[in-house]
Structure 1
Amino acid sequence: PLAARPAPARSQRPEPNVATATRTDRIIIVALDPGHGGEDPGAIGPNGTREKDIVLQVARRLRDRINGSSLGGNPMRAFMTRDDDFFVPLQVRVQKARRVQADLFISIHADAFTTPAARGASVFALSQNGASSSAARWMANKENQSDQVGGISVGAHEVQVQRALLDMSTTAQIKDSLKLGGAMLGEFRRIGARLHKGDVEQAGFAVLKAPDIPSVLVETAFISNPEEEAKLRNVAYQEDLADALMKGIQRYFSQNPPLARSRAL
């Protein structure tokens, strides 16, 4: 009968016009990954500030901005890999983002280094061909140790990850991740944030290994630097960081519209 016939879905057979480049008739999901948590405090500043607390605060501020935004008429929603103080294994963070078919994955951290003189924000993407610098390799090794703090063995999972890295989609993911990271660095410059490196760095961060989601790891500042530790505790600076990250997301999507894929809501 005619009444039982489903209405045509524009997302299934889009008309070939300019609007399809920006409108996908679905929710745009950005996965936010506050680093560390639970028994893993992350880095600890000279005055006792814990990385896990700061990055959760920044992620919540960014979440509120994302949830209040839309893209080309499509509502945006943030998905948090953790929304409180608990431990999440690195591979589970990636699995959570893939389960909700996130359009982007942003892991938020706060650097520590062996000397308190180090300062500035950095953005990292995945590398298939080794780290872009010795500092990037050191940072990836440090962040990848998070699972060891939580008592997680990653050996078997790494075999699966290495297979995924051979997939051609990972090459495209890295390319898009570099674009996303570049947009974020541009917004950090706009708010006057000091940059540790002016370009997106690359290394083998375990949490960036979703082969189908553009993924970046943002080190917001060096919590091991007393001056930057104080800034990270400051609400106004956290708001500035969230603003810059939000504008970086918007700038990326303005040049790289999300795919018009279907998603069960």
Structure 2
Amino acid sequence: PLPAAPAAPARPIVPAVPARPGNRATATPTDRLIIVALDPGHGGEDPGAIGPAGTREKDVVLRVAQLLRQRINATTVAGNPMRAYLTRDGDYFVPLGTRVQKARDVQADLFVSIHADAFTTPAARGASVFALSQSGASSAAARWMANKENQSDLVGGINAQRQAQDRYVQFTKLDMSITAQIKDSLQLGRVLLGEIGQLGQLHKPQVEQAGFAVLKAPDIPSVLVETAFISNPEEEKRLRSSAYQEQLANALMRGITRYFAKNPPLARSRSV
């Protein structure tokens, strides 16, 4: 008898790639995934801020991002399944520009960078949300915060000045896109601020703006969430609490869902 034909090799399971609106004559709610890029700040040799009891920002924000990822991956908005993408899913260093590029590579619909403030005095407290600014910071504190966060690359040995110049040349061609991005980012920021404000005190009642390098994707609404002041002993204790980390993830999830309810992702075109 003839030998049996070899079995066809199993086809690898390929994750669904979000379809770009406009690729088809008609778009249905299930055409593509909604992708949310989560960016846990710092990592590796860059611990971020360190609280009075030794809590490291990089550890807390990674845990909150992982909890939020679980919630996003279990959520559907108007028939569209959501998926979270983490710019880092372990304790390692990622340059600021690479974080932005990773989000663009997966055609993210949103970019949420997660941090935990420190200030020069332990009395500072409350959560904040930041969007990008093209025309200077909205306050001296916002400028101080952006300058501090933008120095993360120096810890990892990155030539931040040269990279900033390269990115400046790249993004100055995209001023109109950035203007639209900032408008969407402010909308997202206001919704997130409203949800986080239900957990405790806000540092500022409005979305602040400054030149954060990590918010400069020209085509993705991007915000930076400072969850609390890790330099405040009381807030550090809350940040260490798994129950509070769960509450933070729940609040951020509610805000993201509310944003998409008002801003259906299929209505947005992609330019990546």
TM-score (norm 1): 0.90
Residue in structure 2 matched with residue 158 of structure 1 by the alignment: 164
Q: Is the 8 A contact 1:108 1:218 kept in 2?
A: yes
Instruction: Encode CA deviations 1:50-102: one digit per residue, 9 max, x unaligned.
Output: 00000000000000000000111111000000000000000000010000000
Pick from 192, 200, 203 the counterpart of residue 210 of structure 2: 203
SS in 2 for 1:79: strand
Amino acid of the structure 1 residue aligned with 2:87 = T
Which of 8, 21, 34 is the aligned partner of 2:40? 34
- Higher mean alpha-carbon deviation, 24-33 vs 206-215, is at 24-33
In structure 1, how many angstroms separate the alpha carbons of the residues matched to 2:269 and 2:209?
31
1:20-99 correspondence runs (5 A): 23=29, 25-99=31-105
Cα distance in 1, alignment partners of residues 268 and 189 from structure 2: 23
Over residues 31-54 of structure 1, what are the superposed CA-to-partner deviations in whole Å (9 max), with x where a residue is unaligned?
000000000000000000000000
Instruction: Report the alpha carbon displacement of residue 159 of structure 1 after superposing the two structures with TM.
Output: 2.3
Alignment coverage as a number of residue pairs: 248
The secondary structure found in structure 1 opposite 2:188 is: helix
Q: Identity over the aligned pairs, expressed in percent?
A: 72
Tell me the SS of whatever aligns to 1:259.
helix
Measured in 1, the distance between the counterparts of 2:162 and 2:148 equals 20
2:83 is paired with a residue whose SS is: strand
What is the CA-CA distance between 1:14 and the residue it aligns to?
A: 1.8
Is structure 2 residue 173 aligned with structure 1 residue 146? no
Separation in 2, partners of 1:30, 1:222: 25
Following the alignment from structure 2 to structure 1, what is the Cα–Cα distance between the partners of residues 143 and 41? 18
Distance 1:221 1:13, change over 3 A: same
Larger radius of gyration: 2
Runs of 4+ residues over 4 Å off in structure 1: 260-263
Alignment deviations for residues 227-260 of structure 1 (CA, whole Å, 9 cap, x no partner): 0000000111111100110011011111111136
Q: Which amino acid aligns with 1:212?
A: D
Q: Which residue of 1 aligns with 2:25?
A: 13
How far does the alpha carbon of each residue in 1:19-40 deviate from its partner, in whole angstroms, 9 at most, with x for none? x6xx251010000000000000
The 2-side partners of 1:132 and 1:114 are apart by: 20
Distance 1:51 1:73 in 2: 35
Q: 1:97-156, CA deviations, whole angstroms, 9 ceiling, x for partnerless residues?
A: 000000000000000000000000000000000000000000000000000000001223
Rounded Cα–Cα distance in structure 1 between residues aligned with 2:173 and 2:133: 12
The unaligned stretches of length 5 or more in structure 2 are: 1-20
The answer to whether the aligner puts 1:173 opposite 2:185 as a matched pair is no
